[in-house]
Amino acid sequence: MTPEQRALLAERQSTFRDSEAVRLPSLIRFIETIGIAPAQHVGINAAAYLPHLTKVLRGLRCESDRERTVLSARVSEYIGEYFAQRFGGRWFVNDTPDSPTFARYVVGDFTTAPGSPVCIDPFEIGMAFARQPGGRDLASLVAKVEAQLKAAIGGGTPAPGSLPH
């Protein structure tokens, strides 16, 4: 690892601890703001919120860069939470220097694929979602990512208790 990579990783790991404290409360506030209740259960059953979020976000118009940034951040938090729960993973800062997601906040360490280096970058996915014009389909995006993730981890099945109720 180069000195620059070491410094970047240290910075991201430091800010990660701060972001962990606000990620779920921020997501809950967003879900409340767009009118989905009860919002607090997203932290234990994110999959149950997918149809509601898909419906609300499909018609949401982002008129400014700031609105797209906010949408991107909240969708990223949701996607990360969804896959962490569904595949028994966790959020962390990727510390593999040759990885395309090096020093990024990712979700991985999936219990459905022990020892696998596979991870997803929720913020990259969220940015792609927010850049789409109106008519966005969160459920289709999540299904696509899930199919890619299952293929990458060898068809791993979702973690026990992670299926929608």
For 6-30, what is each residue's pLDDT tens digit?
Answer: 999 999 999 998 888 899 999 999 9
Q: Are 158 and 110 in contact (CB under 8 A)?
A: no
pLDDT of residue 154: 78
The answer as to whether 146 is a domain residue is: yes
Which range of residues forms the domain containing residue 101? 3-152
The answer as to whether 160 is a domain residue is: no
The answer as to whether 67 is a domain residue is: yes
User: In Å, what is the CA distance from 40 to each residue of 25, 26, 46, 69, 142?
Assistant: 8, 11, 10, 23, 21
For 144-160, what is each residue's pLDDT tens digit?
Answer: 999 999 888 876 555 54
> How many folded domains does the chain comprise?
1
The answer as to whether 162 is a domain residue is: no
d(CA 7, CA 103): 10
* Mean of all residue pLDDT scores within the chain: 88
The answer as to whether 51 is a domain residue is: yes
pLDDT, averaged per 10 consecutive residues of the chain (165 residues), comes to: 92 89 92 92 94 92 88 95 94 92 94 86 94 88 93 66 35
Q: Which value, in Å, is the radius of gyration of the alpha carbons in the chain? A: 16
Q: Which two tokens stand for residue 85?
A: 């729960």
The answer as to whether 62 is a domain residue is: yes
Q: How many CB atoms lie within 10 A of CB 150?
A: 16
pTM (predicted TM-score): 0.89
Could you check whether the bond before residue 38 is cis, i.e. omega within 30 degrees of 0?
yes
